[in-house]
Chains A and B, each alone.
Chain A
Amino acid sequence: MKTDIILAGVGGQGILSIAASIGMAALKINLHLKQAEVHGMSQRGGDVQSHLRISDKEIASDLIPKGKADIIISVEPMESLRYLPYLSPTGWIVTNTKPFINIPNYPELENVMNEIKKQKNYIMIDADSIANELGSARSSNMVMLGAASPFLNISFETLEQGIRDIFGRKGEEVVNVNLAALKAGRDFAEKNR
């Protein structure tokens, strides 16, 4: 069992919080893991990505080869398209629909959505709205993780435990908000896959 995940977004959107949650869960069940991150210049509002690989066998490369990613999790719609060359023919795109517009030439949102719809397997989720409805705008990344959870080859319970471990020191309330966000994302994905 091997899952190759590309996390995409814009510097400052916190994609590494998703990576850390998956990583924590993967370690719980003793999987091997490699996670390549982008630090430095691009973190200033540029496009950023992280390659996250989890497997029951040893992993060689820190980078996912093009054409091999099982899933692209993107917290921004245009960014989900940037890494299509990495996606395997059976892979899934799970993307937030809320655009992050910090460039003057951002394409028409409708065109972006249409490009995503051209792909074989995708889930488009308005994670920000769902997080807002739950009363916690900051947990939209956990909604995204929930939406991606059916495709990670990690049980939902293990992901929940990972979140408890990561947010535990911030108190029960923070844990519960993030667990609710995870569940809301999962429910959306199950209904819309």
Chain B
Amino acid sequence: MQKLLMLGDEAIAQGAIDGGMSGIYAYPGTPSTEILEFVQHAPLAKERNIHRLWSTNEKTAMECGLGMSYAGKRVMVCMKHVGLNVAADPFVNSAITGANGGLIYTIADDPSMHSSQNEQDSRALAKFALIPVFEPSNQQEAYDMAYSGFQFSEKYKLPVMLRITTRLAHSRSGVARKEVKPENSVKLPENPTQFVLLPAIARKQYKDLLKKQELLEMESENSVFNKYIDADNKSMGIIACGLAYNYLLENYEDGKVPYPVLKLGQYPLPKKMIQRMVNECDSILVLEDGYPVVEELLKGFLGIGINVKGRLDGTVPRDGELDPNIVASALGIKQEFGSDKPKIVENRPPSFCSGCGHIDTYSAMNEVVDRYGRGRVFADIGCYTLAALPPFNAINSCVDMGASVTMAKGASDAGLRPAVAVIGDSTFTHSGITGLLDAVVENTPMTLIISDNGTTGMTGGQESNAVGKVEDICKGIGVDPNHIRVITPLKKNHEENVKIMQEEFEYNGLSVIVSRRECIQTLKRRNAMKFAKKMD
């Protein structure tokens, strides 16, 4: 069969569709966004009516996924690594409920923080929850793991994690498809209380989960994704997890590594394979993208016993993503780089698109804030976070989805007046509403600016669940309608917008300013489509 050129994300989506998936749930987040987007455009997904709309946040996505699994169907839930923090509650508990229909959590980590606030390693959370992990080294494995992951999940009645990193998510290569499997039909769990985590039931099921670990380890020993490749030079054995395996091969002619290698793609760790490497080799080098998860396990707290090299002893840098050069250095291979980057080359940080509505919102806001002094604006996650950079220097926080609202409330509680929060429409419905309710209950003196561009912008313009609902949500949870103001961020409205912001900053209670203008990117796309239709 002709191979298809696919992003790692797309390979996962195709693998899941071909593996008999009936639904996918996700909230957009780099580098995971393209998985659900691919399903939205896949003809077979349309034909089968696979669920493929965006969820309001990662927690709602995961719980919907768990519900579909309860009903016996195969389902994938996708998010970026920090999204897993939002979904941590269902994530950890779903290991104890277990699955019915096959359930895959695809979590995309972002080492080096290309587009994220941290570089946490989801393998650590999977280990915490006792959930097995698949970690592909290439696009074909990504496809294969998604394809066969449902069956594995059903065999052990347990959700599984498919862990990828940015580099694989956003790299294309050839992928061969397999035969398309039928979907499951609705089938309730055999045990009607499987998903009822009352303490008495949870205690029993937790014991079952613990018992399953031994079987999962056996699976890892025999997995096609874990390979022990022996070699003559036993001075060192190398454990290469996921993508790191490619960087290792890259450094040797025709991929012939002189040391024994354990190519690792499935966890929990295969104990016998690792035992063999420890017995046969003088030292062990661990290459893993993300945290030193495997390395720490092998090394132990005191680092006595096995001679383990990796991120903890400086053989590999402690932070940041791996690349072929870092791995070459760890292997002591001599490298010749091209010439240095000339000094005249300046950084080019991301910036607002020309004509973006956020610019006009911030121009008005800055003018009013300057009357009180800077340092009182709590922002959130989205394009509007770029206002932290010059020339705006407009915001003072960006922590997690929704934190603008609640941090402004806390600062106001501490006496900071005025206290201002800035959030986007999609982030507001993701995690801002509950915080706003806290402020409603106490009529906290603060102003929430919802910079509403009608889309999830930073990730490329996915549908925002807030569209058409923002004012109603605010009214519905009890914000005084007299202090819900709607403005249009345009240069010609600047003076009026400044006046309205000033009034609400001065109000000794809770106010919301909805600053609404369509995202310039989605507007362009819409116009281009209109034009194309006319041409037809």
Q: Which residues of A contact B (CB under 8 A)?
A: 10-12, 23, 27, 32-47, 57-67, 69, 78-79, 81-89, 91, 102-103, 105-107, 111-112, 115, 119
Interface check B30, CB cutoff 8 A: yes
Q: Which residues of B contact A (CB under 8 A)?
A: 3, 5, 7, 30-31, 33-34, 114-115, 167-168, 170-174, 243, 246-251, 254-255, 323-325, 328, 335-342, 344-353, 383, 386, 458-460
CB contacts (< 8 Å) of A12 on chain B: these are: 353
* In the bound complex, CA of A92 to CA of B213 (Å): 54
* In the bound complex, CA of A105 to CA of B30 (Å): 29
Are A63 and B324 in touch, CB under 8 angstroms? yes
Q: Which of A10, A23, A106, A112 contacts B172 (CB 8 A)?
A: A23
Are B167 and A36 in touch, CB under 8 angstroms? yes
Residue on A with the closest CB to B457?
A44
What is the distance, in angstroms, from B449's C-beta to the closest C-beta of chain A?
20
Q: Which of A46, A59, A112, A115 contacts B348 (CB 8 A)?
A: A46
CB contacts (< 8 Å) of A60 on chain B: these are: 246-250, 255
In the complex, given contacts A33-B174, A40-B459, A81-B342, what are 14 additional A-B residue pairs having Cβ atoms less than 8 angstroms apart? A34-B171, A34-B173, A35-B171, A35-B172, A39-B170, A41-B458, A60-B248, A60-B255, A62-B173, A63-B167, A64-B324, A87-B339, A103-B348, A107-B345
* Pairs A–B under 8 Å by Cβ, sample size 17: A27-B3, A33-B173, A38-B170, A39-B31, A45-B353, A46-B348, A47-B348, A60-B248, A62-B243, A63-B247, A63-B323, A64-B324, A67-B337, A85-B341, A102-B351, A106-B346, A112-B344
Are B167 and A84 in touch, CB under 8 angstroms? no
CB contacts (< 8 Å) of A81 on chain B: these are: 341-342, 344-345
Are A65 and B167 in touch, CB under 8 angstroms? no
* In the bound complex, CA of A71 to CA of B347 (Å): 22
Are B342 and A44 in touch, CB under 8 angstroms? no
What is the distance, in angstroms, from B521's C-beta to the closest C-beta of chain A?
9
Are B255 and A23 in touch, CB under 8 angstroms? no
Are B114 and A37 in touch, CB under 8 angstroms? no
Are B336 and A67 in touch, CB under 8 angstroms? yes
Q: A11-B350, A40-B31, A46-B349 are in contact. Are A62 and B246 (CB under 8 A)?
A: yes
Q: Which of B115, B168, B324, B347 contacts A41 (CB 8 A)?
A: B115
Q: Which of A40, A61, A91 contacts B115 (CB 8 A)?
A: A40
